[in-house]
Chain A
Amino acid sequence: MSPWGDGELRIGIGWREPIAGFIAAQEELGFVEVVAESLPANGSLPAAIEQLLDRGVVAVPHGLRLSLGGAERPDPARVAHLGHASAALGSPLVSEHIAFVRAGGRSAGHLMPVPRTRAALDVVVENVRIAINALPVPLALEHVAALVEWPESEMTEADFVSEVIERTGADLVLDVANLYANSRNHGFDPLEFLDRIPLERVAYVHVGGGVEREGVYHDTHRHPVVTDVLGLLEELCARTLPPAILLERDDDFPAPEALAAELAAIRAAAERGRRRTSTRVG
């Protein structure tokens, strides 16, 4: 069951102020994601986003600071803000992360990975349930890219993510760039990940750019999307076609043509995957 309603595959892009003009000029735009914390509490929206909504573009609030993977229960004010953001945007869903961003009175300044233990899983599940109960629309959760790995992890990332999804009823934001980064940096098979997670629960897909440095792949969102990530997207779409796919670009924005070419490459990869499915079925 898709929160988007039926329809064609939607291709979207993360709304960021410096590329507001580029985004406004995209006629085929399927949806945008708006950083929830960037929206004011009074429900007002930037004029550029209002104009997209007037055109019928779906805008999904994407939260970064709920810290659902943190030891503290989610702050009701932050959950309420995410809910208000969804109301202001009229969005069919909201998204957040399986990650923590603060602990011990300090801020990480980034989305950090949760130790994949049974005990931590219970904490995440309870946090997510608290959030879901207070949100007016369905919640989708994204797994994050991480350079470090916890030694006490007892489960694969695929199993950890799947259990969070299954036990909470949340949907999944599948980030093929995060999957690529973790599979490369921690040495696992990304296709096995795709085979183990509940693909029917994917609300939408993230694609982002990155770069290799010192033998490690960094998911930067300020470099071009690498070919292998598009390859993973194709593999995903050969298994199941997700309702929507979004490009994340946060900084060092390229020329409009380059950004448009990345959106086109994403659509092409999805189409290649879809053709493989129909070949198999037919």
Chain B
Amino acid sequence: MSAEERRELERREAELIRALGGGPSPPGVDSERMRLAAEAVAGKRARLVRHGWPALTLELGERFETMFVDYVKAEPGGEEAIADGLLFARRLDGLALLKDEARVEARLVAAEWRVVHGRAVRRRAPYVAAVRVRRPRRVVLIWRLGGRVRHLTIRR
């Protein structure tokens, strides 16, 4: 088997994955079926993220689906739910759409996991973050030391 065979397979498969993220259907692939497949995969990924991110789900409400589809289109994506959730939350944070409880939740997950090449791997290095929450006004300190994530709320 030649390296050329692997390159050709890579090219075709990458086209299909881009199409799952809203790109054009690969030449010859039925575009209606492609749309259904993209919807099904995005829906499944969104559902898995929702399970693990109650505060984020509450925060986004009805916007969750749309925002998640935007994320699927824009980013390479995570290989499983934890990575997907972290990358989704990071994107929302970058867009200043992550507030209060959802930000605390994101930092609590990030204290335990980081994403490497689309996979969630357990963090080894210490982690510390402070989240300013508006209602009720407080600061939540989150840190991870010796394998345990802890948090402390400071009222202001």
Contact = CB atoms under 8 A, between A and B. Distances in A.
Interface of A: 37, 64-65, 70-72, 100-110, 112, 114-115, 119-120, 122-123, 126, 146-152, 185, 214, 216, 218, 251
Contacts of B27: 151
Q: Which 9 A-B pairs have the closest CB atoms?
A: A104-B14, A151-B28, A71-B10, A103-B13, A147-B37, A122-B1, A71-B9, A103-B14, A119-B5
Interface of B: 1, 5-14, 16-18, 20-21, 27-30, 33-34, 36-37, 40-42, 44-45, 47-48, 72, 76-80, 84, 118
B44 A106 contact: no
A148 B29 contact: yes
Contacts of B29: 148-151
A100 to B, nearest CB: 5
Contacts of B79: 65, 101-102, 107, 109
A115 B30 contact: no
B5 A122 contact: yes
B30 A214 contact: no
A211 B14 CA distance: 28
Contact of B41 (A72, A104, A110, A214): A110
A219 to B, nearest CB: 9
Given A109-B79, A110-B41, A148 B17 contact: no
Contacts of A70: 9-10, 13
Nearest to A120: B9
B9 A119 contact: yes
Nearest to A151: B28
A106 B12 contact: no
A102 B28 contact: no
B52 to A, nearest CB: 11
B146 to A, nearest CB: 16
Contact of B18 (A37, A71, A104, A151): A104
B20 A109 contact: yes
Contacts of A103: 10, 13-14, 16-17
Given A147-B36, A150-B28, A151-B28, A108 B6 contact: no
14 contacts: A37-B80, A70-B9, A70-B10, A72-B6, A104-B17, A107-B79, A109-B44, A109-B79, A110-B41, A112-B20, A149-B30, A151-B28, A152-B12, A185-B33
Contacts of B12: 115, 150, 152
A148 B44 contact: no
B45 to A, nearest CB: 5
B6 A123 contact: yes
A216 B47 contact: no
B45 A148 contact: no
Contacts of B5: 119-120, 122-123
Contacts of A71: 6-7, 9-10, 13
Nearest to B81: A109
A130 to B, nearest CB: 12
Contacts of A72: 6, 10
A106 B77 contact: yes
Contacts of A65: 79-80
A107 B33 contact: no
